[in-house]
Structure 1
Amino acid sequence: MVAVPARHRTHRIVFANEKGGTGKSTTAVHVAVALSYLGARVTMLDLDPRQRTSHRYMENRYNTMQRRGLHLPTPACEVFKGRSDSALNLKIEKLEKDCDFLVIDNPGRDDPLARCAVEQADTLVTPMNDSFVDFDLIGQVDPENFNVKKLSFFAELIWEARIKRSRATVSGERMQMDWIVVRNRTGHTEARNMARINKALTEMSKRVGFRVTPGLSERVIFRELFPSGLTLLDKGHLGDLGTSHLVARQELRTLVMALNLPEIVKSKPSLEPT
């Protein structure tokens, strides 16, 4: 993480992918809790009032803390139920008065409010599975040699959002948007397919300027933790952990560091193993 400037400004992290099943909400929740463990004030905004996966996760977490008498670092979380860009912008302005990081979890579909949120991102995170089904959201490849043929709709959307954002950057209102593609569930990817996707992502990243980082592998522990709202960082409350769980925790630490977020640490906390 990098040091923040003297003039503090809330950092907006938007998790966006128009395809479901990529681990978007799981990644968003774990990053938000990780930042809370680092001593930052974190608020989550769930933009899917129907599924509200992030909000349900936090509800489960609060219920577990109350039931067990625990106090765990936990972000605040709200569900946005407005219907206009202006209402969303007002909500963002209101929430960021009391937090260091605002984590926005977009719905897994094309949505006008999701587009608006993307334009507000300081850090844009797009989780994807290591498959060309998911890659198709970003770019289309030649079926014979797997070279990238053209940008897909979502990549074009981000490109336009970054152009709009550059005006605010020039005026000093916001920093330049950092777009990061997170490769989740790589553990089940066949080696040749992984190499092809890596080649396509490398080519695409040079065209549109995103960074690529490893994310969270496919592990049962993530699905098991949802009912309790606990995360891999809640050491001492998860019972006996196997080797795969410890590896998953290290994956999370690596991901948080790779996001290269501003360092807003309030006390002694650390994500390092104890």
Structure 2
Amino acid sequence: MAAHGPHAIVFANEKGGTGKSTTAVHVAVGLAMQGARVACIDLDSRQRTLYRYLENRSDTARRRDIDLATPRFEAFEGSSEAELQAQIDRMGEGADFLLFDTPGRDDVPARYVATRSDTLVTPINDSFVDFDLIGKVDPESFEVTKISFYAELIWEARTRRARTDGLSIDWVVLRNRLHNLEARNQQRVGSALDALAKRVGFRVIPGLSERVIYRELFPSGLTLLDKGQLGQLGTSHIAARQELRQLIAALHLKLPVPA
């Protein structure tokens, strides 16, 4: 999005229910905890999940009188690309990372930031229902038959970006809500993703498992990384925290060097 500005991270999926906002919040807080200056813009004017999550986090910090690493955050309330770009310029000032959460539907502002991102993260549930966003498979062999309109859009944006400024969008498909069951389905989805990744050029990384604690943390705005505020954690929660750390590392984001 900017040669010398903040690194733009866009969480985008035109289907809802993929854990997109939860993942976005945890990545934003995780980067802030590592000393990065992070700003967030919530483009979902209806749900505002990322905005409300971080708002809850700020309220908890005030209520408990504690210091919680919290990114700067705003919601986009405009209607034009010019208004969005003005907000991007303002929020990006002095930031190392500018993170966007987009709505689970086709949306003009979401396309605007997705095609101008540095890192594009597309969380999907591990099923062919969600795979359909990026590609089609044969119903008998489960082999990839074509790429979707959304995948074509991102592929064209990456090609155009490489031609104009020599940069490229690092497109990451995040396999969220993996289960230990349904191993055959996971293998089929995994094989289809690997095949499509070679054609379109995205990376596939493991995401977050389905865990109740992610929903329970929303009212307080806390994350699994807030060790001192969560009390006694069970084994599954410790595993989830490690899962989250591995996810953030797999995004290959370059953190600022401490002064």
Taking the aligned partners of 1:261 and 1:63, their CA distance within structure 2 comes to 29
Question: Shift of the alpha carbon at 1:241?
Answer: 0.5
Residues 189 and 101 of structure 1, relative CA distance in 2, 3 Å threshold: farther
1:95-106 → structure 2 map (5 Å cutoff) = 95-106=91-102
Q: Deviation digits for residues 141-182 of structure 1, max 9, x if unmatched?
A: 000000001011211121122122223323xxxx31100000
Letter in 2 for 1:95: M
Counterpart for residue 11 of structure 1: 7
Indicate yes or no: 2:232 matched with 1:236: no
SS of equivalent residue, structure 2 residue 179: helix
Counterpart for residue 198 of structure 2: 206
1:156-171 → structure 2 map (5 Å cutoff) = 156-170=152-166
Letter in 2 for 1:193: N
Question: Shift of the alpha carbon at 1:84?
Answer: 1.3
Letter in 2 for 1:147: E
Counterpart for residue 58 of structure 1: 54
Question: Shift of the alpha carbon at 1:189?
Answer: 4.8
Counterpart for residue 4 of structure 1: none
Residues 168 and 93 of structure 1, relative CA distance in 2, 3 Å threshold: farther
SS of equivalent residue, structure 1 residue 226: helix
Unaligned 5+ runs, structure 1: 1-6, 268-274
Q: Deviation digits for residues 21-61 of structure 1, max 9, x if unmatched?
A: 00000000000000000000000100011110000001110
Counterpart for residue 249 of structure 1: 241
Taking the aligned partners of 1:231 and 1:114, their CA distance within structure 2 comes to 25
Taking the aligned partners of 1:225 and 1:193, their CA distance within structure 2 comes to 30
Counterpart for residue 65 of structure 2: 69
TM-score of the two chains, using structure 1 as the length reference: 0.91
Counterpart for residue 3 of structure 1: none
Unaligned 5+ runs, structure 2: none
Taking the aligned partners of 2:257 and 2:223, their CA distance within structure 1 comes to 20
Whether the 8 Å contact between 1:40 and 1:265 is mirrored in structure 2 is no
Taking the aligned partners of 1:167 and 1:83, their CA distance within structure 2 comes to 29
How many pairs are equivalent?
A: 257
1:119 pairs with one of 91, 115, 118 = 115
Taking the aligned partners of 2:241 and 2:72, their CA distance within structure 1 comes to 22
1:82-97 → structure 2 map (5 Å cutoff) = 82-97=78-93
Q: Deviation digits for residues 111-153 of structure 1, max 9, x if unmatched?
A: 0111101112000000000000000101010000000010112
Q: Per chain length, whose mean CA-contact separation is higher, i.e. which structure has more relative contact order (CA < 8 Å, sep 6+)? A: 1
SS of equivalent residue, structure 2 residue 226: coil
Taking the aligned partners of 1:117 and 1:125, their CA distance within structure 2 comes to 12
Letter in 2 for 1:64: T
Q: Percent identity?
A: 62
1:165-204 → structure 2 map (5 Å cutoff) = 165-170=161-166, 175-187=167-179, 189-204=181-196
Letter in 2 for 1:27: T
Q: Deviation digits for residues 67-92 of structure 1, max 9, x if unmatched?
A: 11111111011000111122212221
Indicate yes or no: 2:216 matched with 1:224: yes
Question: Shift of the alpha carbon at 1:204?
Answer: 0.3
Question: Shift of the alpha carbon at 1:253?
Answer: 0.4
Question: Shift of the alpha carbon at 1:8?
Answer: 5.3
SS of equivalent residue, structure 1 residue 14: strand
Counterpart for residue 44 of structure 1: 40
2:149 pairs with one of 132, 153, 164 = 153
Taking the aligned partners of 1:242 and 1:107, their CA distance within structure 2 comes to 33
Taking the aligned partners of 2:128 and 2:22, their CA distance within structure 1 comes to 21
SS of equivalent residue, structure 1 residue 120: coil
Which moves more between the two structures, 69-78 or 181-190? 181-190
Counterpart for residue 108 of structure 1: 104
